[in-house]
């Protein structure tokens, strides 16, 4: 079984890229000439703190993580990229690192938001939500959300938005929110030309809230070419979405994805979205106050050993949290939102509603 996180840990993206590209430090990012096209300027940007790269040349536009970079450089698939990065003897070796890239000082992730940071997040959320609500019903973001079984009322209720990449900076200037504050929370990043761009551009915006207001924003890409479907803020620790507004006394359903969480919230259930499979240590301990937890794993495609990533994830969740029950989806369905789209979610819920609230003993 491939341990992607361990491979990432052993292969910092800046080290791997520096074997092919001369990188120079620039704030929290590194820049260099793109290795995937004839680049006359430093269009290629690497962010070591999130393990991500992107080329800003209009004719190129490649982006992704360390696995994507190796796939593109060697023209191999994901499995072979893992073998290369894992240093397997019969795999093609990475070239020797002749010069380490300059160290990038990445600011600390914010675990506590101050008044300025909250103002910036609140402004961004209002701007993005207003933009989405002003779009036509047949616009790409609105059609995408409708396909995910979200109505206009749901969009309002959950505060979903859309980032065009053009609205936040003018709004921030008018509202007196400084660019350094936007940068601190990760809403904007510096471009190679010395300007600023919105980090979540061209993504549907999914907010998280705590009792004081908006505390986090997640962006979901609409382009099938995007390597990372979901992108979070660079400056704020990724939360378990829904945690800060949840009631520990209620039955709580824990899932990987936010759209799965939305499907169940629409039906009155309390849900938490892990936004991936990482639920260990201190993050898992955040669920200790919850007395009745139900985990719903995804039905991912099994690997060559017949093991599903969703099954592995939920085994870890149960072990790390130390409590909870597992409810499985029908075999042919990937996740809760897919079941919602297929029209079978209500019937499935009825099959386990009779024991949903019973005492665990």
Cα dihedral 212/173/205/234 (nearest 10): -80
Q: Are 237 and 244 in contact (CB under 8 A)?
A: no
Domain total for the chain? 3
pLDDT band of 216, cuts 50, 70, 90? very high
pLDDT band of 359, cuts 50, 70, 90? very low
Q: Looking at the structure, tell me whether residues 267 and 219 fall in a common domain.
A: no
What pLDDT was estimated at residue 198? 93
CATH at 122 = 3.90.980.10
Q: Looking at the structure, tell me whether residues 227 and 285 fall in a common domain.
A: no
pTM: 0.71
Q: Write the CA distances from 171 to 20, 144, 156, 181, 307, integer angstroms.
A: 40, 26, 21, 14, 48
The answer to whether position 96 is within a domain reads: no
User: What 3-state DSSP class applies to 358?
Assistant: coil
Residue 108 has pLDDT above 70, yes or no: no
CATH at 343 = 3.40.1360.10
What pLDDT was estimated at residue 335? 94
Q: Looking at the structure, tell me whether residues 202 and 260 fall in a common domain.
A: no
The answer to whether position 292 is within a domain reads: yes
The answer to whether position 109 is within a domain reads: no
What pLDDT was estimated at residue 16? 92
Q: Looking at the structure, tell me whether residues 262 and 213 fall in a common domain.
A: no
Residue 288 and residue 271: Cα distance in Å, rounded?
15
CATH at 60 = 3.90.580.10
User: Final residue of a domain: which of 232, 251, 275?
Assistant: 232
Percent of the chain with pLDDT over 70: 86
Residue 315, H or E segment: helix 309-321
Which domain covers residue 68, as residue numbers? Answer: 4-86
The answer to whether position 352 is within a domain reads: yes
pLDDT (tens digit per residue) in 321-342: 999 989 888 888 999 999 999 9
Structure-token pair, residue 300? 């991912």
Q: Looking at the structure, tell me whether residues 121 and 228 fall in a common domain.
A: yes
Question: Which residue(s) pair with 65 in the sheet?
Answer: none
As a whole number, mean pLDDT of residues 73-102 equals: 73
pLDDT (tens digit per residue) in 251-309: 999 999 999 999 999 999 999 999 877 787 888 899 999 999 999 988 877 666 666 66
pLDDT band of 187, cuts 50, 70, 90? very high
Percent of the chain with pLDDT over 90: 46
What pLDDT was estimated at residue 106? 47
User: Final residue of a domain: which of 180, 197, 232?
Assistant: 232
Q: Looking at the structure, tell me whether residues 138 and 61 fall in a common domain.
A: no
**Any idea which of 125-129, 226-230, 246-250, 325-329 has the lowest mean pLDDT?**
226-230
Q: Looking at the structure, tell me whether residues 156 and 193 fall in a common domain.
A: yes
């Amino acid at each position: 079984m491939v341990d992607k996180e361990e491979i990432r840990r052993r292969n910092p993206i800046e080290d791997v890229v520096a074997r092919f590209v001369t990188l120079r430090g620039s704030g929290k990012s590194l820049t260099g000439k793109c290795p995937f096209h004839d680049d006359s300027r430093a269009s290629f940007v690497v962010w070591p703190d999130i393990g991500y790269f992107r080329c800003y040349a209009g004719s190129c536009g490649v982006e992704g993580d360390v696995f994507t970079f190796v796939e593109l450089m060697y023209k191999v698939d994901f499995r072979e990229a893992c073998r290369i990065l894992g240093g397997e003897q019969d795999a093609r070796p990475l070239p020797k690192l002749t010069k380490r890239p300059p160290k990038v000082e990445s600011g600390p992730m914010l675990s506590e938001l101050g008044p300025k940071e909250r103002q910036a997040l609140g402004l961004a959320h209002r701007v993005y939500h207003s933009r989405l609500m002003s779009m036509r019903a047949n616009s790409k973001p609105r059609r995408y959300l409708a396909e995910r079984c979200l109505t206009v009322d749901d969009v309002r209720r959950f505060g979903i938005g859309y980032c065009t990449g053009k609205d936040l900076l003018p709004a921030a200037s008018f509202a007196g929110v400084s660019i350094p504050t936007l940068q601190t929370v990760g809403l904007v990043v510096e471009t190679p030309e010395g300007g600023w761009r919105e980090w979540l551009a061209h993504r549907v915006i999914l907010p998280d809230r705590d009792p004081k207001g908006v505390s986090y924003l997640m962006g979901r890409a609409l382009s099938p070419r995007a390597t990372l479907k979901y992108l979070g803020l660079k400056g704020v620790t990724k939360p378990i979405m829904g945690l800060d507004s949840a009631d520990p006394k209620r039955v709580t359903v824990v899932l990987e994805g936010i759209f799965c969480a939305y499907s169940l919230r629409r039906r009155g259930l309390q849900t938490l979205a892990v936004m991936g499979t990482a639920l260990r240590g201190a993050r898992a301990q955040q669920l200790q106050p919850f007395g009745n937890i139900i985990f719903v794993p995804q039905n991912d495609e099994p690997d060559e050993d017949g093991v599903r990533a969703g099954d592995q994830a939920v085994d870890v969740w149960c072990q790390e949290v130390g409590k909870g029950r597992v409810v499985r989806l029908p075999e042919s369905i990937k996740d809760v939102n897919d079941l919602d789209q297929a029209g079978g979610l209500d019937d499935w819920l009825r099959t386990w509603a009779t024991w949903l609230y019973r005492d665990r003993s």
